Chains A and B, each alone.
Chain A
Amino acid sequence: MSDATRQLVENLNALATGLFLLTAFGIVAMRQARGCLHLFIGQSLLLAASAALLGLRFDSGHLYGVALVNLVSKPIIVPWLLRKVAPAELYTRREIDQVLNIPTTLLIALALAIGAYFLGVPMANAVGQEYHGQNLPIGIAGLLLGALTLTVRREAMPLLIGLLAMENGAFLAGISIARDLSMLVELAIATDGLIIVFIVGVLVRAVEKHVGTTAVGELASLREGPAKQATQENAP
């Protein structure tokens, strides 16, 4: 590979990872449930693009495999599976009351992303001197922003997307530092993501049927304290 092509591939990878970070911010703040899903699909496509570019850069057939697995499982099978198992209600929800308001959440997200950079760069150096791109710091940021999504959201769809986004973040970092992970493991992890979608979808359907809401974060009757209060809370 000539120097110019390598430079181009590395720049394109930087673009893909940069956009990846942007989608991670979007998932934290997006109010519409359907929008969250679309952002996640975009994020998965960018992950696949980054894997393919790194595959080109290192001439690694294995990374092409990772790109292909991500291309098929997340943008195609996840939405299909959700339509099959989860209630339609899930898509139409719009979340008004997050635990924190959106500007505060985004400020925290920004702090996390900066922290991820300071954690990621020394780690990349410890792995070795070869090219890692921005994958490691941005992957860590993706992981942390996914976790933030899980803590501040209450609707089922953003919570599910937060889980999957965490996995995406771990993967974005993984394709740069753990390139030779066996294909069996990669396939198993992808399958695992689909099982998560299936089980969470079934749970949401049960919650919607028996409790009548998809704002699962608002379920909060289980706690310590005087017994009577708990039963009163349940009554209505």
Chain B
Amino acid sequence: MSVILILFPPLVAAALAGIPSRQSWAPGATVVSCLIVLALASRMAWRIAAGGSVTDTLDPGWSNWVAVDGLSALILLLIALVGSTAAVYSVGYMAHGKPGAGRLRLYHANYNLFIFSMLAIPLIAEPTLVWIVVELTTLCSALLVSFENTREALEAAWKYVILSLMGAGFALFGFLVLFAAMHAAGGAVYTWAGLVEAAPRMPPLLVQTAFLLILIGLGTKVGLVPMHTWLPDAHSQAPSPVCALLSGIETTSILYVILRLFPVMQAVPGAHAETWALVLGLISVGTAAFLLLQVHDYKRLFAFSTVEHMGIILTAVGLGAPAADYGAMQQIVSHAVTKSFCFFAAGATLLAVGTREIAAVRGLVRRAPAAGAALILGGLAITGAPPLAVFLSEFAILKAGLTQGRYVATGLLAVFIVIAFFGVMVHLNRMVFGAPENEGTAQDPSGPREAKEGRLPFSCGLILILAAVPVLVLGVYIPKPLHDLLVLAAAALSR
């Protein structure tokens, strides 16, 4: 099986979606291509988890460009998974607003290109090429963020593009400096593995400068505080399935690139990559936890929760223990499945009530029971209520921190997580169970009519059920192959 094959279905689907025709096959092409990608990625992850290799059948010349280890396989699998659920969800969700065939083609062509660019990140081994596909993720998703063409959506897309690309500019320089450092150390090939190999001989000044440039540059796109300002805008204004992709998996696949530098940094004396990660991570978690309290838009609520989760993952990596690394990998998985579910629930809510204002939605569980139940489950799941997936991974991180004796960092993390829990639940609780204030009496006769208008499309309901499965299951049980994959992925974070 050729690894590169996984990149073709999205490209073909993007081309198909772009063909002008009256009958729109774009949604179907997207779903089929995503499912093929999911099958390929699962097979790849399965083989890697079993201790095999997926690049051994490739021509040796390719090894300078393509490499897949446990960490890449994990990210690939998650991109494929969220990509597939969001693709199926899109079918019903995007048809709901009755956009023209042209707009639908634009959406699906961009969607597939976006999936393509994300899949390329973990596959490519050459850092500057990885930088280019990171740029492509921004550029391919920009028109998805602005899809609704409202003033707010355009503003969000604009901020997203400018700030992400500004960060990318710094990161590009960082990668060039890293190349120079490797060259000065006599390294032969510029790949992640080549960097780790040459790291002990590289000039520390250059490696540290490069690391900081990349951490800040790509950290902008991950949404680390204080470079996060664009994230709540873009992750709330895009159509909900796109939000699921952006928040659920795009952020982590960029974080993956930063994580790749940790084994390099560990060989450099006085580099302190872990300290940087810990400090930036805790700042992100803390700031997001307090900002959560004052949002007035429920999609922004989940967007801020993404900032919080990226902070948690980075903090876990910053703790620098194998157990914490494992927790970080587990958190990446639980974040991807849970956050995408949250945005599917938020999308269902938006279809039912037609507003993003938290204050305008009360008693959702009576108006739209499915959306209300999903929203409250999503809220509980994303804030780490037991026995759901995020609880297990956050617990693993906190436990690893305590075993390490890092009481201050672990304590702060725990406090911030609790604050975030209340921040999210206060808002969602009012939305779902709160008594309808003034509108309840006035709109009582029109209630059933609205509910009929807001009937959940079949594909959205299906995905709400399917996407809830991993959220529930991963909270009590981690299958053996996934556990093996997580162990391999965590091992990739240290030398």
**Does B92 interact with chain A (Cβ within 8 Å)?**
no
Chain B residues lying within 8 Å of A185, measured Cβ to Cβ, are 126, 128-129, 132
Partner of A219, one of B158, B173, B184: B158
Across the two chains, which residue of chain B brings its CB closest to A139?
B173
Please, how many angstroms separate the alpha-carbon atoms of A78 and B263 in the complex? 39
Across the two chains, which residue of chain A brings its CB closest to B295?
A224
Interface contact A140-B173, CB-CB below 8 Å: yes
**Does B157 interact with chain A (Cβ within 8 Å)?**
yes
B132, chain A: closest CB distance, angstroms: 5
Interface contact A203-B155, CB-CB below 8 Å: no
A interface residues, how many (CB within 8 angstroms):
52
B325, chain A: closest CB distance, angstroms: 30
Interface contact B172-A170, CB-CB below 8 Å: yes
**Does A178 interact with chain B (Cβ within 8 Å)?**
yes
Interface contact B173-A143, CB-CB below 8 Å: yes
> Taking each of B128, B136, B150, B173, which has the highest tally of chain A beta carbons within 10 Å of its own beta carbon?
B173
A interface SS class: helix
Please, how many angstroms separate the alpha-carbon atoms of A216 and B151 in the complex? 11
Stretch at the interface among B138-146, B429-437, B452-460: B138-146
A114, chain B: closest CB distance, angstroms: 17
Partner of B151, one of A140, A146, A150, A210: A210
Interface contact A202-B143, CB-CB below 8 Å: yes
Instruction: Count how many pairs of residues, one from A and one from B, have CB atoms less than 8 Å apart in the complex.
Output: 142
User: C-beta contact mask, A172-192 vs B, less than 8 Å → 1, else 0?
Assistant: 011001101110110011001
Please, how many angstroms separate the alpha-carbon atoms of A200 and B183 in the complex? 35
Interface contact B136-A150, CB-CB below 8 Å: no
**Does B322 interact with chain A (Cβ within 8 Å)?**
no
User: C-beta contact mask, B176-206 vs A, less than 8 Å → 1, else 0?
Assistant: 1101110110000010000000000001011
Interface contact B165-A163, CB-CB below 8 Å: yes
Partner of B296, one of A128, A159, A230: A230
Across the two chains, which residue of chain B brings its CB closest to A128?
B184
Please, how many angstroms separate the alpha-carbon atoms of A126 and B203 in the complex? 6
B interface residues, how many (CB within 8 angstroms):
52
Interface contact B173-A170, CB-CB below 8 Å: yes
Q: List 19 A-B contacts (CB under 8 A).
A: A123-B205, A126-B184, A126-B205, A127-B181, A147-B169, A163-B166, A163-B169, A178-B177, A180-B183, A185-B126, A199-B161, A206-B154, A210-B149, A224-B291, A225-B296, A227-B296, A227-B297, A234-B151, A234-B152
Please, how many angstroms separate the alpha-carbon atoms of A182 and B124 in the complex? 15
Known contacts A192-B135, A222-B156, A224-B300, then 11 further A-B pairs from the complex at CB < 8 Å, ordered by chain A residue? A119-B209, A170-B173, A174-B176, A182-B126, A196-B135, A196-B139, A206-B146, A207-B158, A222-B152, A224-B294, A224-B296
**Does A11 interact with chain B (Cβ within 8 Å)?**
no
B13, chain A: closest CB distance, angstroms: 19
Interface contact A210-B184, CB-CB below 8 Å: no
Chain A residues lying within 8 Å of B232, measured Cβ to Cβ, are 222
Please, how many angstroms separate the alpha-carbon atoms of A146 and B167 in the complex? 11
**Does A1 interact with chain B (Cβ within 8 Å)?**
no
Interface contact A159-B132, CB-CB below 8 Å: no
B321, chain A: closest CB distance, angstroms: 31
Interface contact B162-A211, CB-CB below 8 Å: no
A190, chain B: closest CB distance, angstroms: 10
Please, how many angstroms separate the alpha-carbon atoms of A180 and B184 in the complex? 12
**Does B233 interact with chain A (Cβ within 8 Å)?**
yes
Interface contact B169-A203, CB-CB below 8 Å: no
Chain A residues lying within 8 Å of B143, measured Cβ to Cβ, are 199, 202-203
**Does B237 interact with chain A (Cβ within 8 Å)?**
yes
Across the two chains, which residue of chain A brings its CB closest to B180?
A177
Chain B residues lying within 8 Å of A180, measured Cβ to Cβ, are 183
B144, chain A: closest CB distance, angstroms: 11
Q: Which 8 A-B pairs have the closest CB atoms?
A: A166-B169, A219-B155, A177-B180, A227-B296, A170-B173, A126-B203, A174-B176, A178-B179
Across the two chains, which residue of chain B brings its CB closest to A119?
B209
Chain B residues lying within 8 Å of A103, measured Cβ to Cβ, are none
Chain A residues lying within 8 Å of B126, measured Cβ to Cβ, are 182, 185
Please, how many angstroms separate the alpha-carbon atoms of A11 and B183 in the complex? 26
B135, chain A: closest CB distance, angstroms: 5
User: C-beta contact mask, A195-236 vs B, less than 8 Å → 1, else 0?
Assistant: 110011011001100110000100111101111001000100
